[in-house]
Amino acid sequence: MSTSTLRYDGRVAVVTGAGAGLGREYALLLASRGAKVVVNDLGGTHSGEGASQRAADIVVDEIRAAGGEAVADYNSVIDGSKVIETAIKAFGRVDILINNAGILRDRSIVKTSDQDWDLVHDVHLKGSFKCTQAAFPHMKKQNYGRIIMTSSNSGIYGNFGQANYSAAKMGLVGLANTTAIEGAKNNIHCNVIIPTAASRMTEGILPDMLFNELKPKLIAPVVAYLCHESCEDNGSYIESAAGWATKVHTARGKGAVLRPTIEDTVTPEYVEKVWSKVTDMSQAKHLEAIAHASGSLLEVLENLKNGD
Ligand code: NAD
């Protein structure tokens, strides 16, 4: 294990939604360790209304006052190319992109309007895609990049009243999976952070006792490490809160064949008969790639043909 200080000298980082909460901590930490930072923030309300330059400006001032380098960007992440353009104009490159900007429009499924659905998806999912898409050619050219997608336990497990948000947050896991695959050959890594932190987003949602312990500052070092050149992870999902972190995986059971022989067809009755085996997770495994999933299907067919 290296004990040298992790520095970001010569690196340019774009942190979206960096005017408050988690994004602000990411920006402050990276800047304090030598990165030149684009502090992006639209500066609207937590439900995505309005705009203001104040949020980004305050964080840029904080960084400069501490001797760091930063510029503000006030674009919505939906205009990802403009966000990345700010980095190119100010600093000539982009090495790190932390897709963090977010809003909430919590409603039960029945009460979710098209606008509630669309705006939450636009900011979280499309915004992360547009920023990533704009940063990718620069990262490919320099053969280096570190990208973070921000998911949520609301997406992984679901949460009452967050259909729009949880769908977008799980969408970000899918986006990260493919970004990690497409970036790998150019040393562009993409990982997912699943944070829980006290911010205006969780005020009044998290119990008071938890809220006070969940400082965003405690998550920033995890994200900073994921964005360092020494971090080899690509395609990892890392949950972090309260000075704790863990990797999160998908798991696939052993499964069951749904017909007695290859000559038989599958019937609902046979599915019912073997359902406990279909849903048995005692031999579950994490698969690293889509090829492993399709590869194991070939094995199932082979076994069926052989009558195993
Ligand atoms: P926050 O509200 O404090 O910060 C979000 C920032 O994003 C705000 O400053 C806001 O102005 C900015 N923003 C919103 N829409 C934007 C847009 N279109 N373009 C640019 N900036 C925009 O919230 P936070 O808790 O720090 O959340 C940061 C991220 O972490 C979000 O993606 C959120 O969904 C995610 N998250 C947070 C928690 C938590 O417990 N706080 C849990 C899971 C996921």
Looking from the CA of residue 45, the nearest atom of ligand 1 is 11
Question: Which of 41, 60, 156 maximizes ligand 1 atoms within 8 Å of its Cβ, making it the mutation to test the pocket?
Answer: 41
Looking from the CA of residue 76, the nearest atom of ligand 1 is 19
Active-site residues, by number, are 165
Looking from the CA of residue 48, the nearest atom of ligand 1 is 15
Residue 22 Cβ contacting ligand 1 at under 6 Å: yes
The β-bridge partners of 107 are 162
Per-residue pLDDT tens listing for the chain (308 residues): 556 899 999 999 999 999 999 999 999 999 999 999 999 999 999 999 999 999 999 999 999 999 999 999 999 999 999 999 999 999 999 999 999 999 999 999 999 999 999 999 999 999 999 999 999 999 999 999 999 999 999 999 999 999 999 999 999 999 999 999 999 999 999 999 999 999 888 888 778 888 888 999 999 999 999 999 999 999 999 999 999 999 999 999 999 999 999 899 999 999 999 999 999 999 999 999 999 998 888 888 888 888 76
| 251 Cα–ligand 1 center, Å | 29
Residue 164 Cβ contacting ligand 1 at under 6 Å: no
| 150 Cα–ligand 1 center, Å | 9
Q: Whose CA is nearest to atom 43 of ligand 1?
A: 152
Starting at the earlier edge strand, list the strands of the sheet with 145-150. Answer: 69-73, 36-40, 12-15, 96-99, 145-150, 188-195, 237-241, 244-248
| 6 Cα–ligand 1 center, Å | 26
**Residue 284 Cα distances to 224, 269, 281, angstroms:** 32, 24, 5
Which amino acid, residue 65?
Answer: A
Q: Whose CA is nearest to atom 1 of ligand 1?
A: 21
Q: ipTM of this predicted complex?
A: 0.99
Place of tokens 């090829």: 291
Residue 197 Cβ contacting ligand 1 at under 6 Å: yes
Phi/psi class of residue 143: alpha, beta or left (left: φ > 0; alpha: ψ in -120 to 50)? left
pTM listed for this prediction? 0.96
Give the Cα separation of 173 and 41 in Å (integer). Answer: 23
- Write down the pLDDT at residue 209: 80
Sort 181 into a burial class: Cβ within 10 Å, 0-12 / 13-18 / 19+: middle
Q: Whose CA is nearest to atom 38 of ligand 1?
A: 196
Sort 233 into a burial class: Cβ within 10 Å, 0-12 / 13-18 / 19+: middle
Residue 196 Cβ contacting ligand 1 at under 6 Å: yes
Residue 41: closest CA among 55, 31, 27, 30: 55
Residue 152 Cβ contacting ligand 1 at under 6 Å: yes
